[in-house]
Amino acid sequence: MKTALRRWWKDFKSNKKFLGWRYAIRTEIRGIWGLKQLQDLIWAIRYRTYKKFHIVKLDLKPGYHDIDQRLIHANFCLLAEYVEKEKPFETIDWDSDDYHKNAAKEIKELYKWWKEVYPNYEKNNPLHADGVVCPEHDSKVHQVDEDGDPITYVWEDKPGQEEIAKKFREVCVLSHEYEKKQEEEIEANMIRLIKIRGYLWT
């Protein structure tokens, strides 16, 4: 009996020392038969209704989105949730060591990129610049499968579209280079985010 009491008192003092009186007392109250089960039931309901931590909310418009795009949004929407809802820069001492300083810098830079740079990627694509016009053309079947269904098409410009077509193809080359650079930047920032994953908690 004395051994059990000593063990209980040791655990209580440990909880009080590291987490405070309120947590220590609350832990003991929860240990009373029935109350813990009731609280577990309450949290089970919460986790299935309005505190759905097992679901990631993406800021994408309704419609079909490929997994590669959803993967980007899943990662950075969680970063935004961390910064905006958990408010880590109000509760964590990021100057405690160089690792935390670097993590804080990365979090701020990646959050700013996600909010200010990424949303403008599509708008800044050379294909969307003023004066860029797709030439009028006909798409003719170039190749069919064994059932006679089209596989590929060939693009044929209509007569009188030579200058428009030339300019459009030049812009397409620029657009391809722009999109390649864009993808490289996205990939680099996703890697940066994964490297500081261990700091994303409060």
Residue at 194 is within a domain: no
Q: How confident is the model at residue 122 (pLDDT cuts 50, 70, 90)?
A: very high
What is the band of 132 on the pLDDT scale with cuts at 50, 70, 90? Answer: confident
Residue 134, in any domain of the structure:
yes
How far apart CA 142 and CA 149 sit, in angstroms, is 11
| Residue 177 resides in a domain | no
By residue range, what is the domain housing residue 18?
1-54
186 is a domain residue: no
77 in a domain, yes or no? no
Chain mean pLDDT for the chain: 84
Pick from 59, 52, 87: nearest CA to 74:
59
Interval 60-111: pLDDT, tens: 999 999 999 999 999 999 999 999 999 999 999 999 999 999 999 999 999 9
Question: What CA–CA distance (Å, rounded) separates 149 from 143?
Answer: 8
For 171-187, the pLDDT digits (tens) are 999 999 999 999 999 99
Q: Please give the pLDDT value at position 149.
A: 77
**Hunting for tokens 């880590």 — which residue is that?**
88
Q: What is the pLDDT of residue 16?
A: 63
For the whole model, what pTM was predicted?
Answer: 0.72
Mean pLDDT value of segment 111-127 = 96
CA distance 30 to 157: 76
Residue 49 lies in a domain: yes
Residue 119 has pLDDT above 70, yes or no: yes
For the chain, what is the domain count? 2
Q: What is the 3-state secondary structure (H, E, C) of 134-201?
A: CCCEEEEEEEECCCCCEEEEEEEECCCCHHHHHHHHHHHHHHHHHHHHHHHHHHHHHHHHHHCHHHCC
- Does 9 have pLDDT greater than 70? no
182 falls within a domain: no
pLDDT at 1: 46
Q: Which residue has the higher pLDDT, 77 or 130?
A: 77
Higher pLDDT, 154 or 94: 94
Distance CA 181, CA 28 (A): 57
Of 14, 42, 41, whose CA–CA distance to 28 is shortest? 14
More confident residue, 137 or 71: 71
DSSP reduced 3-state for 130: coil
Whether residue 16 is contained in a domain is answered as yes
More confident residue, 29 or 40: 40
Band of residue 3 on the pLDDT scale cut at 50, 70, 90: low
Residue 107 near residue 196 (C-beta atoms within 8 A)? yes
DSSP readout, 54-94? T-PPP-PPSS---HHHHHHHHHHHHHHHIIIII-HHHHS-T
